[in-house]
Amino acid sequence: MALMNMVSALNSALDNEMEADQSVVVLGEDVGRDGGVFRVTEGLFDRFGDQRVIDTPLAEGAIAGMAIGMALNGLRPVAEVQFMGFSYLTLNQMISHASRLRNRSRGRFTVPMVLRMPYGAGVKALEHHSESTESLYVQIPGLKVVVPSTPREAKGLLIASIRDPDPVVFLEPTRSYRLMKEEVEENAFSIPLSAARVVQPGKDVTIVGWGAMMPLVQKAAEAAGSEGVSCEVIDLRTLSPMDSGTVVESVKRTGRCVVVQEAPRTCGVAAELVARINEEALLSLEAPVERVTAPDVIVPLPQGEKYYYLNANRVYRAVKKVAEF
């Protein structure tokens, strides 16, 4: 075991998989000698060479297209886009080809690729560097969408994503890159995709989050717990396919639920999750499900970010609201 932050855990995952499997390659802008914009790929160029760690032009659509071609020809590419706000240039490739080649070829071809990108606000970045538009990818059938919340989760989920036979969009919460450290296995291990994690059991309120929201959720749960409200905390981990079954079973026991997402409110993943709770656990509810989200506005520039970004107190107030309904 070694003490790692999320950046070093992701680097360790890539190193393990490239060492074990010659078909795993890394490509993207500045991922080679520079080690990537956040240094996730640092050292891989020296270790594995320019045939497996490939610097690309500033062309996100081409990066995704190259990764699809590599995957169809027997490689397992891990492509990096520097920020989620730049990833929209990959959508044509991901929607029109990566997500549907298995279906188009009636199973003759699959696309085992990972499209990695930092996402989210909380670090006072520039315009286009703080996007949280995960619902764009969640709504594309054929893509898996994965969001880790801790260093160990990041390593295990990235390894599982690289080994997956189908395309995975891997969203790395920028705020969490260097926020915390924890003990992580140095050897390779994987965490199953599409399985939510119960972070802590509870009996009064279910709180669901993912990615950079988890530290806020846990802080709010701790505050509510000090006042006698027992919270069950669930990390969704994979947004598509979504393990809503774990959430529904929890809500059937607690009768109350708060869903926390960093993204703007309208048509987000939280809305989908609330719809599923209403479909499958409506008669168990003791209070309307509460959503805690960002407002439906463009992420402000650094000076205004503190008025936009969620905090633990907002989550705590939502928990109190459903608990006292």
Q: Identify the CA nearest to 250 among candidates 195, 315, 205, 216.
A: 205
H or E element that contains 205: strand 205-209
74 Cβ neighbours under 8 A, 6+ residues apart: 23
Q: 144-178 burial, b for 16+ CB within 10 Å, e for fewer?
A: bbbbbbbbbbbbbbbbbbbbbebbbbbbbbbbbbe
For β-strands 2-4 and 182-184, DSSP reports them as antiparallel
10 Å Cβ neighbour count for 123?
A: 19
133 phi, psi to nearest 5 deg = -110, 45
**Cα dist from 66 to 93, 213, 266, whole Å:** 10, 33, 33
Spell out the alpha helix ranges (H) of the chain.
6-20, 44-48, 60-72, 91-93, 101-104, 134-138, 151-163, 214-225, 244-254, 269-281, 305-308, 312-323
d(CA 224, CA 205): 10
d(CA 316, CA 307): 17
Q: Identify the CA nearest to 115 among candidates 74, 178, 66, 52.
A: 66
d(CA 265, CA 114): 27
Taking only Cα atoms into account, the Rg of the chain, rounded to an integer number of angstroms, comes to 20
d(CA 86, CA 263): 16
The catalytic site residues sit at 129
